[in-house]
């Protein structure tokens, strides 16, 4: 009886502490501008089938910016489309504790990067990369 109890207790503790058990990226996340450290946008991450996507739900405009901008620097099917509502993260798949295999668009410059996401201490780590060059941003639950 004692062995069963401890075995069950160990299994429950392992399940609760297993980081992949609690790594849900679905929801709204606040992005931070690298240049000024201020909130930049809200990105909503959602699951469609077995893949994950992210769209811009809201933009925090600066005084000198045009409200309701379009992606004039995009080179794919998003060229000329409104940035609010735009899907900027496409086709990520969950692989262990990470979400990868898809890409992310930077609407400021129109560039598309390979993408990897993971949650660390409640913060969504968003990494865009080309080959071995990368940049990682912290996004915060909204």
Mapping DSSP to helix (H, G, I), strand (E, B) and coil, where does residue 101 land? strand
Domain 23-141 class in CATH: mainly beta
55, two tokens: 């769209």
Query: pLDDT digits over 84-132, tens only?
Result: 999 999 999 999 999 999 999 999 999 999 999 999 999 999 999 998 9
Q: What single string gives the DSSP state of each residue in 31-92?
A: EE-TTT-SEEEEEEEEEETTEEEEEEEEE---TTSPSS-B-TT--STTTT-BSTT-EEEEEE
Q: Write down the domain spans for the chain.
A: 23-141
Query: pLDDT digits over 37-90, tens only?
Result: 999 999 999 999 999 999 999 999 988 888 889 999 999 999 999 999 999 999
pLDDT confidence tier of residue 2, bands split at 50, 70 and 90: low
- What's the distance, CA 26 to chain centroid? 9
Q: Which of 69, 71, 29 is nearest to 46 (CA)?
A: 29
pTM exceeding 0.75: yes
């Amino acid at each position: 009886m004692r062995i069963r109890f401890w075995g069950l207790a160990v299994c429950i503790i392992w399940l609760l502490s297993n980081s992949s058990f609690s790594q849900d990226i679905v929801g709204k996340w606040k992005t931070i501008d690298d240049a000024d450290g201020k909130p930049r946008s809200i990105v909503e991450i959602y699951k469609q089938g077995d893949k994950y996507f992210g769209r811009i739900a809201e933009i925090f405009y600066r005084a000198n910016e045009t409200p309701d901008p379009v992606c004039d620097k995009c080179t794919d099917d998003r060229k000329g489309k409104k940035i609010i509502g735009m899907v900027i993260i496409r086709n990520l798949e969950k692989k262990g504790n990470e979400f990868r295999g898809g890409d992310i668009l930077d609407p400021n410059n129109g560039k598309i990067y390979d993408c990897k996401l993971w949650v660390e201490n409640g913060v969504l780590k968003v990494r865009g990369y080309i080959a071995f060059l990368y940049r990682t941003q912290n996004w915060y639950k909204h």
